[in-house]
Structure formats: C-alpha cells, structure tokens
Structure 1
Amino acid sequence: MWRYLALLLVWPFAAIAEGERAGDFDYYVMALSWSPSWCALEGDARNSDQCDARHDHGFTLHGLWPQYDDGYPSYCRTTEKDPSRTQTAEMTDIMGSGGLAWHQWEKHGRCTGLSASDYFDLSRAAYESIKRPEVFRKLPRTFSLPPKVIEEAFLEENDTLLGAGVTVTCKSGLLAEVRICLEKDLSPRICGRDVQQDCSSKAIEMDPIR
C-alpha cells in the first residue's frame, strides 16, 4: 500500500520534469541583453570572448522565449533534432556565443515546436525587426539613467511597439535587459503581468560599449 501511495505522489512530478508539450504557448518574449553589463557581472570572470572589444557588442540577443499569458514552458518534449555546432556558431554574431545559442534552444527553442533551424531563423528575424537606439552605442562613459528613459528610447525608435509591451530589467545596479513582447508572427503585443515587472530602481548604470 505504501509503495502504491509513493508512486502516486511521485508520478505528477515526474511528468512535469519531462517538460511541457512543444508548440503550446501564447506569445514570445525577446530578451535583449546589454553586453557591457553582462561582461562586468559575469563575462569578464569567465574570460568570455564575447567581452573582447573587437566585437563591439551592444544589445545582444539573450533569447526568444515562448511564454504563457502567465508563466512559461521550458525544456519541452520535442521530436525535432538538436542543432549542430555549425548552427549554434552561426548565431554568435547576435548572441555572443554558440554556447548561449545551444542553451536557448535546449530550454526555450524546443518549446516552440519549430526545428532548430527555423527557431534560430525566427530569433534572428525578431532581433532584426527591432531598432536598437543608436544613442546607446555612442555613450562616451558610464551613465546613470532611469529605466523608463531606456524603455522610452526603444518606443521612440520603434513606433509599433506598445508601452506595456516593453520592460527593462536590472541586476546589481546595472542595466541587464530590455524585454519585448511579440505575437507568434513577431508583431508587437502587450506583455503578461508576470513579464511587466520593470526594474524598481530609480536609476541604473549603463556602461559604454567596449
């Protein structure tokens, strides 16, 4: 009897651990990472090639994430093949590293129901559809800015974006990411409540591109 009860208790958690069904989601969140901040907080300590000044990275693509109206799927079950090293390496120019591209496929891409090739193509299309404000590429030094100023700069550069469809996140007093919510066809939309949680700091630092 106790063994039977134990199986009943364990079974639901085992099903969840396998991941949700691929293709079952409501919209996308595209996360744009400010590379100088990531390098200052993590990349330099890892001696990451992404942080080498020759790359001139500003906003890089962290990922294109399938999202529910509340919450998100991850590590989904899929019949699609994993990407090759060549495929992940081809994303380095906008993502910073092939390793990140692989991780994004593993955690998020599998949940789209797309092939790895189509997922990376869609990720690139999403990245290229958004204008990153040129003013941020020209910062001569570190500036302290209200998160709202960064958000408004994106709205001014992209007149189809919605105010409730863009959010700014921060970490350790630095700009971390700008997150933009998109429909499955990549048209702008508002974010779910769980994504709309902006950085609560009055001002955050934005380091210049290296």
Structure 2
Amino acid sequence: MTDHLAATRASYDAAAANYAEFVEGKLEGLPMMRAMLGCFAELVDGPVAEVGCGPGNVTSYLTSLGVQIRGIDLAPRMVEIARAAYPELVFEVGSMTSLALADASLAGVIAWYSIHHLPPAELPGVLAGFHRVLSPGGRLLIGTHAGEVEHRQLSEAYGVPVSYESFIQPPELIVAAIRSAGFTITAELVEPGNKPGRCHLTVFAQKD
C-alpha cells in the first residue's frame, strides 16, 4: 500500500464515527444528489459496487431504490460502522486502486465523492479498473469535488487529526480521463461548489 493510501486509510479510520454522524440524513436535504442517484438506479440492471462507500449511507439509499449493491471502502472502521448500521447489506474492505472483483462481473460502479483523494496520475489506472469489472454496457456514476487545480494536505477533519490529501481537478480533465478509459459519457452535471473556484461534478458514463 502506498504512503498516501495508508494515510487516507488511517485518517478515515480515525474520523469514521464522526464522519458517519456528519453524513447521516444528508441526502434528505440534497435533492439534486438524490435525483442523480435515482437516475443511476433506473439505468443500472444487475449487480453494482459502490467504491469508497464510507459508512454506507449511499449504498443503503440505492438499495432502497431496488439496486443490488455492495459497498467497498479502504478504511476498516468505516466498513465496521456500515455493517453495524445496515446488517442486511454486504460491505468489504478494499481499495479502488486494486479492485478484487472479476472482469465483467458488474452492471454498475459508483464512486461518490471518493476519487478526489487520488493523485491525478493514479486516476487513469483506477478508471481502467472500473472499466475492467463492468460488463459491456455497464454503467458508471462518479460524483466528485472539482474546480481549479488544487492540492491540499489536511491535518484536521470532522473534529479529529487526519493526514490525507485532496486533489482537485477541472471538470473537463476528469471527464476526459473517463472517456480515455473506454467509457462513453452519457451525461454530466456541474453545480457551484461551496467555495470560490470549486464545483460539484456528476458524470454518467457507459462501458463501450
């Protein structure tokens, strides 16, 4: 495991309980996010993995919409919390950089606000991994922070010390990377972020 992955894992283990409390009920006040997740639920037909699932709130929401989904997260403590909160669902420890899933085994992959922790040089490999595990015609949904190029090293988040990094890239670069990985972009949405130079990017894509 690389140093930055280890730091991200340790940070989210430390912040897991506070993060779970932070996101609890958040979707109720985010109609655009619910709409995007709802669209994905209607489009996908078959097994899905949420990569970077955190405490499982989005995995659970998609299950309520009829999606057959499992959650995968880098942080073991996040997985423990997700399993306790949603014992009827499957959650596993794993990394998006090396998905332990068979080729063409999924109908859908969702990465919801998790890829911004990847150094830009690692994004193509991760997207290639998403492409590998999807069956032909499989759906990809990515939601992420985007905007002016920025690299942040955080020392505190969710009320605890952390040591993870965040890499912000322009929407067009992220979309281009998804396309270069062998996906057809079927829709994209850019919304204003909560600080200058930032935005929220949602991308729907399909495996060619």
**TM-score, normalised via structure 1 length:** 0.27
TM score, norm. by length of structure 2: 0.27
More strand by share: 2
